[in-house]
Structure 1
Amino acid sequence: MKISLFGFCLLSCLMLFAGSAALAQKQGLFIEKKMPNDEGLNPYNYDNKIFVAGKTYVYNYFIIKGPDTLKYAISPQAGGEKNWKYVAKMQKDSNTVAYLGIKTLGKIGPIMMDKPDYDQTEIFLYHYNPNLKPLDTELTGVVENQANVWLHPFRFHALEILQLSPFPYVKLPFKQGQTFYWSLDLGKKWPEFKAFNWKGNLKLNCTYVEQGKETLELPFGKVEVIKVKSVAVTAKGNSSLIAYFSEAYGFVKLVYRNLDGSIIVMSLNQIR
């Protein structure tokens, strides 16, 4: 089916006016219908307001393990491998991951090329050095529409443990006390996962509660946010996430308490 850019925009508007009728529920999430096009555009980006092509969100972060406040550094190895290690929070050499970034792919990306039924907006997750040079990149997805926003976390290197914590998730419109659920079957521990050990099948059962609205002071100004508290219950213990969500900028602050006892905090620093 061929559709012009004008037709693409018109169909986008019609789908937005259709509201919840244009959405389908999948494992608790609302997913918008796939937009047909011959322009090479990602077919789930048409209603995005936050995760749009040409915009990158850059986050500061730190990791608390015991008495230490840390970042991490990535060192390239022979054969294309990359090793990492914890470093002091104030370290700023060229291998230190000083910032994290999220950037939306405007075109159909590698995931959808491999899996045509993939129903998310594709995004790059960057691990930046102090000069905002990417030291490593993840490719994953986000769901954004008028009913909910749900984001895959960073999961490389020192952030691998976030796979076992609640994923960032908010239901819209905001309702104080609104409670919702999401679960993830992780199954048996895969060999490449180093952050945490478990035996048998592991499942995350996540409960989210919208607490209220607050105002956060970010480097570029004050931002009104929705505060969402969540807990992931597993057979190996519980983890939690406090997420602060802006309808203009997405998840502007994330405070994770992880199964390994660590705390990871990310806060939006700039928009490029």
Structure 2
Amino acid sequence: MTIKLTLFFLLAFQIGFSQQYDTVFIEEENIDDNNKIYKTGNVFIYDYEIILNEEPFKLKKNEGMFAGSDFELVPIGSDSIGVAIIHLIVQPVENNDRTNENQTQISYLQEPAFASIASTGVVENEKNVWIHPIRSSFFGSLETAPFPFVRKPLKIEAEWTDQMQIGQGWGNKMWGQWEGQLLLTYNYKIVGAETLKTKVGEIACFIIESTAKSNLGETKLKSYFSETYGFVRLEYELLNNLKVNMWLIETKNGVEFNDAGTFFKTNEYIKQK
């Protein structure tokens, strides 16, 4: 029994977990206190679209992770959309309870169902900003692409590289499958600046073009980064003619969050005053 359990956990580790970016500077103190964008109590709300073979879709359902993933795409004008927008919330957390050590805790919620909270991390300091994208079910596809990542000082023509390995559990026939670990080699470059017109207002952004090369091929991420709002727009090009776009539509500052029990009872993550 002990041997079987050990093998199970080893397999789960190989399938599920990623090896961290090596060049991201991660501070060991003041992990949340020095954040200027992803401050505790802030909320960032994104709209999204999934482009498959040049046709736009959203998600009717999007549940689970790895082998337990259960998702379904529907045309973007459908009346059965189950994931309309995505909320990124920055919750306060004790150091011992962090999902990722020495990273600011963030959680993703999918509206309107709000059936689950998926927590991960962001790194923000004077040297870089790096964020783990949503990874529930279909969005596990984003593990195969570069993560949103920018180094400081922000300067056009700045360029940097990194690598990460991801387990086979992130694979799917829609965006690529592999056995064991998949090594991704990243290249990032700040190629320009642009002022985007958004629902939040006009936002000055740096444009970062990035690629991830592996044995499966090459994926891309074009990200628009604001020193005030963080990653404002993300344009992914994945394998098999699959694309994902996300863009900021609303922000909230300094909110207080309900505990998990209250959240699941009321379907509201912000405390009512």
What TM-score bracket applies, with the shorter chain setting the length? 0.7 to 0.9
Residues 50-73 of structure 1 deviation map (CA, whole Å, 9 limit, x = unaligned): 111221100010000013200002
TM-score scaled by length of structure 2? 0.77
Give me the whole-angstrom Cα distance separating, in 1, the residues matched to 2:197 and 2:63. Answer: 36
SS in 1 for 2:249: strand
Give me the whole-angstrom Cα distance separating, in 1, the residues matched to 2:107 and 2:199. Answer: 23
- The percentage of aligned residue pairs carrying the same residue is 29
The CA deviation at 1:92 is 4.3
The CA deviation at 1:153 is 1.1
Q: Are 2:71 and 1:60 equivalent residues in the alignment?
A: no
Residues 108/73 of structure 1: CA separation in 2 closer, same or farther (3 Å cut) = farther
Q: Are 2:187 and 1:207 equivalent residues in the alignment?
A: yes
Give me the whole-angstrom Cα distance separating, in 1, the residues matched to 2:157 and 2:62. Answer: 45
Give me the whole-angstrom Cα distance separating, in 2, the residues matched to 1:75 and 1:224. Answer: 33
Aligned to 1:142: 122
Give me the whole-angstrom Cα distance separating, in 2, the residues matched to 1:176 and 1:139. Answer: 32
The one-letter code of the counterpart of 1:45 is D
Q: What pairs with 1:38-53 in structure 2 (closer than 5 Å)?
A: 44-53=31-40
- Greater displacement, 95-104 / 216-225: 95-104
Q: Are 2:123 and 1:172 equivalent residues in the alignment?
A: no
Aligned to 2:101: 118
The one-letter code of the counterpart of 2:118 is E
Give me the whole-angstrom Cα distance separating, in 1, the residues matched to 2:62 and 2:106. Answer: 24
Residues 82-125 of structure 1 deviation map (CA, whole Å, 9 limit, x = unaligned): 732101112244x610101111112227xx4277x811001001
Aligned to 1:228: 208
The CA deviation at 1:75 is 7.1
The CA deviation at 1:200 is 4.8
Aligned to 1:101: 87
Give me the whole-angstrom Cα distance separating, in 1, the residues matched to 2:233 and 2:179. Answer: 32
Instruction: Answer yes or no: is the 8 Å Cα contact 2:98–2:105 preserved in 1.
Output: no
Give me the whole-angstrom Cα distance separating, in 2, the residues matched to 1:241 and 1:211. Answer: 13
- Greater displacement, 200-209 / 159-168: 200-209
TM-score scaled by length of structure 1? 0.77
Instruction: Answer yes or no: is the 8 Å Cα contact 1:161–1:259 preserved in 2.
Output: no
Give me the whole-angstrom Cα distance separating, in 1, the residues matched to 2:34 and 2:143. Answer: 27
Identify the match of residue 151 of structure 1 among 115, 118, 131: 131
Identify the match of residue 110 of structure 2 among 122, 127, 134: 127
The one-letter code of the counterpart of 2:94 is I
Give me the whole-angstrom Cα distance separating, in 1, the residues matched to 2:194 and 2:58. Answer: 28
Residues 237-260 of structure 1 deviation map (CA, whole Å, 9 limit, x = unaligned): 000000000000000000000123
Aligned to 2:260: none
Aligned to 1:5: none
Aligned to 2:270: none
SS in 1 for 2:38: coil
Q: Are 2:26 and 1:28 equivalent residues in the alignment?
A: no
Instruction: Answer yes or no: is the 8 Å Cα contact 1:59–1:268 preserved in 2.
Output: yes
Which runs of at least 4 in structure 1 moved beyond 6 Å after TM superposition? none
Aligned to 1:181: 161
Identify the match of residue 249 of structure 1 among 203, 220, 229: 229
Q: Are 2:61 and 1:74 equivalent residues in the alignment?
A: yes
Give me the whole-angstrom Cα distance separating, in 1, the residues matched to 2:94 and 2:228. Answer: 24
SS in 1 for 2:34: coil
Residues 182-225 of structure 1 deviation map (CA, whole Å, 9 limit, x = unaligned): 210125x23x7435211353101000001121100001210000
The CA deviation at 1:49 is 1.0
* Larger RCO, structures 1/2 (Cα 8 Å, 6+ apart): 2
Structure 1: gaps (5+ residues): 1-25, 36-43
Q: How many positions carry a matched residue from both structures?
A: 227
Instruction: Answer yes or no: is the 8 Å Cα contact 2:59–2:83 preserved in 1.
Output: yes
